[in-house]
Amino acid sequence: MKASQRAASIAPSVTFAIEARVRELREQGLDVIGLGVGQPDFAGPPQAAEAVIAGLAESEGRVGYTAASGTLELREAAAAHVSRVSGCTYSAQDLIVTNGAKEALALALAAAGDPGDTLLLPSVNWLSYAAMAQAYDLKPHDVPVNAENHFKLRAAALDAAAAQTGARLLLLNSPNNPTGAVFSEAELLDIAAVCVARDITVISDEIYWPFVFDGRFVSIASLPGMAERTFVVNGLSKSHAMTGWRVGFLAGHGPALKAAASLKSHLSSNASVAAQWAAQGALASGPEHTANIASAFARRRDLALELLAEIPGLQVDPPQGAFYVFPRVDALYGGEIQGSVAFCQRLLEEQRLAAVPGAAFGENRCIRLSIAVDDATLEQGLARLAAFATALSEARV
């Protein structure tokens, strides 16, 4: 069977491909450390599983459809949660429960963009954004960012790109995957001013909101003139360590949110009822679980920076948030290693350490390392990176 041109043009997720290779090596009995996939190493709050057990008992196992946008009870709880996090006001009618934040992003793109529209993206961005845009026949357009400005989108660059392309759609991610950049309120105010002046709709990916090490989290939706032109994407995968439950939230106002809900009713119907029960339990559990995860990641960020500083040939811009470090490694390139893909391939095969090549995110000089592992694993992984870097440095002497 022949694949469509659209489907064939979209490559598989690099992170999932790396994780598949890690599983394959482990099945061969090899000791592999994975710092590739962004998956918290914590269990979800116990109230999540308890809510599922209670739901099954109450329903006597009769688990049927819910509204495509989710149960009213969960939407009310999620709307209150997203309202607190973002600083905006959302009701249950302003929120869709999705199959993870990925579906929320995809629905937002489909609801806000028409085929042929241009989607503005910072040039270093999460690897699935462009693929999602292409799936809906949108045209991704990179707006230059660089390490000198901590990989943050600047208002002047955004304005120039909007003027050049006529784009009316921007995808913003703060705290950022892969760079760890976090926008300040002042920086977001400048971006918001451009969006209002240029009539730009924003999709704000806020899935890493609890993990801010320097400064504080600010949602662009909370700024003047932005609530009515912003889709907010959130969920429980990162904040509550519930990746496998696949629960996301899409919040917004007006016809675009209703259009996204209608589209979801045709594409996927409701999120799993069990997952919705779990989400409601998690949201009712209070902030302590998320705070404990955030505290652990802050400590690990500091540990990673301390260990990376000792590795020859690396430059590290300290991440302000999320749970990744994005070191620059191109000083170690040479010979058969001419980029981040070859670097990560050799690192995995020789040191049994999985990392994600920066090329997947638009920055070939860097690699992404997840710190969402326990301290001992992080220390062992960075020791393997140090051994690999030292061997490369010595080979060039």
Contact 127, 15 (CB under 8 A): yes
Q: SS3 string of 334-380?
A: ECCECCHHHHHHHHHHHHCEECEEHHHHCCCCEEEEECCCCHHHHHH
Beta bridge partners of 324: 370
Distance between CA atoms of residues 221 and 249, nearest Å = 15
Can you give the pLDDT at residue 284? Answer: 97
* Residues 149, 18, 303: CA angle, nearest 5 degrees: 50
Can you give the pLDDT at residue 147? Answer: 86
The separation between CA 162 and the C-alpha centre of its own chain, rounded to angstroms, equals 24
Contact 123, 362 (CB under 8 A): yes
Contact 126, 179 (CB under 8 A): no
**Domain-by-domain residue ranges, the chain?**
5-43+288-395, 46-284
Can you give the pLDDT at residue 394? Answer: 82
CB-based contacts of 39: which residues, under 8 Å, 6+ apart?
Answer: 243, 370, 372
Strands 353-354 and 367-370: unpaired
What CATH topology corresponds to 46-284? Aspartate Aminotransferase; domain 2 (3.40.640)
CB-based contacts of 10: which residues, under 8 Å, 6+ apart?
Answer: 131, 134, 135
Can you give the pLDDT at residue 9? Answer: 84
DSSP assignment of 12-67: PPHHHHHHHHHHHHHHTT---EE-SS---SSPPPHHHHHHHHHHHHHHTT------
Beta bridge partners of 204: 172, 232
pTM metric for this prediction: 0.95
Q: Does domain 5-43+288-395 have CATH number 3.40.1260.10?
A: no
Can you give the pLDDT at residue 397? Answer: 58
Distance between CA atoms of residues 368 and 328, nearest Å = 9
Contact 301, 325 (CB under 8 A): yes
DSSP summary character for residue 312: T
pLDDT < 70: residue spans in the chain: 397
